[in-house]
Amino acid sequence: MDGLLRFDGVDDSVTSTLPSTTINANTFSVEVDFVTNAVSGNDDAFYGLVASGIKLQVLLTRHDATRIRLRFSGGGISAFNVFVNFTQNQRYVIRVDIDLTTGVWQALLDGTAFGGNTQAQFIGYTLAEGRAVGAALAGVGELQCDIYRVAEFVNGTEVLRYEPDAADKTANVLLDKVGSNDGTLNNFPSDGSQWVNTAPAISITDVDGDDTVIDGQQNATLTVAGFGNNINALD
């Protein structure tokens, strides 16, 4: 994973539809690997399953400068919210697990549980048929953020993974790396500046402490950065 997709918090978004296998799933999970940049507004969204009709909406929003709001609503269920503290400009993974057969759900931020209980109203509900990343959903604004990964799991199997890579910008879509549910980019810059490469530069930063290699020298010690494999000697 060598990239991220950067949102400006104004009007850009990614939209797509859920795989058909998600409908009437027994369990559903979502993970979002993200960084929120400094913003001051409340209820700025960076991920949501879009509800319509008898559907279930899971909406992750940044509620204020120190809290994230996880909101459940849609399909006639009694809407409720849970909150977790966080720090802006710090990278996190937020995960939500929902069991639609028992009503049990749990949320985690970097592996630490928050919220979570049994909601009988979840039992038998059908998941939403669309999603939005970084989009302004009903009643919320758009969050300026960096998205490293969005993954969704149905019955324990990963069915979708958005893992932005700067090399993907030629496709002009957010590619689904495990399925075929690519996301449509809306209102992003035409110059491709939303795609950011996070791979470290490949370099040799030191050779034997003096950065010189003489004819016939063996076992020169190297200090390197960014190589896929460790390279620490030149024979």
Closest listed residue to residue 125, CA positions, set 8, 32, 42, 28: 28
How many residues make up the chain in this entry?
Answer: 235
- DSSP character for 56? B
pLDDT tens, the chain, 235 aa long: 589 999 988 888 898 888 777 777 899 999 999 998 876 667 788 888 875 554 667 778 888 888 999 988 876 778 899 999 999 899 999 999 999 999 999 999 999 999 999 999 888 887 777 888 887 666 677 788 899 999 999 999 999 999 999 888 888 899 999 998 999 998 898 889 999 998 765 556 556 566 666 666 666 676 655 555 555 555 5
Closest listed residue to residue 18, CA positions, set 130, 93, 119, 96: 130
Pairwise CA distance, residues 55 & 35, whole Å: 28
Q: Give the CB-side neighbour count of residue 151, counting CA atoms within 13 A.
A: 15
If DSSP states are collapsed to H, E and C, what string results for 140-203?
A: CEECCEEEEEEEEEECCEEEEEECCCHHHHHHCEECECCCCCCEEEECCCCCCCCEEECCCCCE
Pairwise CA distance, residues 197 & 32, whole Å: 18
How much is the pTM?
A: 0.82
Are the beta carbons of 34 and 145 closer than 8 angstroms? Answer: yes
